[in-house]
């Protein structure tokens, strides 16, 4: 049940929001920046998790916040570790996106998500072409039995029409 919608993903009523990111991402641009500003403790917790677990591209990590907020950080890009490591995320790859979305689909069952929202993952800072990413989203999330809202067009401050919510 994938629905392409237009609006501001930060106003989504979905149970969880997922977005693409790099390990140790500074979260200083795009949707990651907006989420960092809205949930500063998520940023801190994510960096703690990265330093403890050293995640590889293709993994996913969920953060739970106040009022049942759920944000899934999809590791779609290369990231740096250690002293002098680059603070700039690397580019995404289709394989990393596919693996991260596979982990998101698994997480849906484990966490009991009732709906998820995601942007045009890995097409901004990640640098991928939407025409390559969209079929991967359909393949990895198309069989989920919950609504999946893909924010295909960003409309600041506008709540999307999310069928079923």
- pLDDT tens readout for residues 63-72: 999 889 999 9
List, for residues 116-132, the tens digit of each pLDDT value. 999 999 999 899 999 99
pLDDT of residue 81: 52
Mean pLDDT of 20-39: 92
Q: Answer yes or no: is 108 within a domain.
A: yes
Q: Answer yes or no: is 143 within a domain.
A: yes
DSSP 155: -
Backbone angles phi, psi at 47, to 5 degrees: -65, -35
Q: Answer yes or no: is 163 within a domain.
A: no
Range of the domain at 84: 2-154
Q: Whole-model pTM?
A: 0.92
Q: Answer yes or no: is 164 within a domain.
A: no
List, for residues 40-97, the tens digit of each pLDDT value. 999 999 999 999 999 999 999 999 998 899 999 999 998 755 444 445 667 899 999 9
Contacts of 76 (CB under 8 A, 6+ apart): 20, 21, 22, 57, 58, 92, 93, 96, 97, 100, 121, 122, 126
Backbone angles phi, psi at 148, to 5 degrees: -120, 120
Nearest to 158 by CA among 10, 2, 16, 14: 10
- List, in sequence order, the alpha helices (H) in 73-144: 94-111, 130-141
CATH number at residue 104: 3.40.220.10
Give how many domains the chain has, as a whole number.
1
């Amino acid at each position: 049940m994938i629905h392409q919608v237009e609006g501001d993903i930060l106003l989504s009523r979905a149970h969880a929001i997922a977005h693409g990111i790099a390990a140790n991402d500074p979260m200083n641009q795009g949707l990651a920046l907006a989420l960092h500003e809205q949930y500063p403790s998520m940023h801190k917790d994510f960096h703690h998790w990265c330093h403890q677990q050293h995640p590889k591209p293709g993994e996913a990590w969920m953060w739970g916040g106040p009022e049942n907020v759920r944000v899934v950080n999809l590791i779609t890009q290369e990231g740096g570790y250690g002293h002098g490591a680059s603070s700039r995320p690397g580019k995404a790859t289709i394989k990393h996106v596919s693996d991260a979305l596979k982990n998101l689909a698994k997480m849906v069952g484990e966490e009991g998500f009732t709906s998820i929202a995601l942007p045009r993952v890995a097409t901004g800072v990640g640098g991928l072409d939407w025409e390559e990413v969209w079929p991967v989203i359909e393949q990895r999330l198309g069989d989920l039995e919950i609504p999946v809202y893909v924010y295909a067009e960003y409309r600041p401050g506008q709540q999307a029409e999310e069928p079923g919510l």
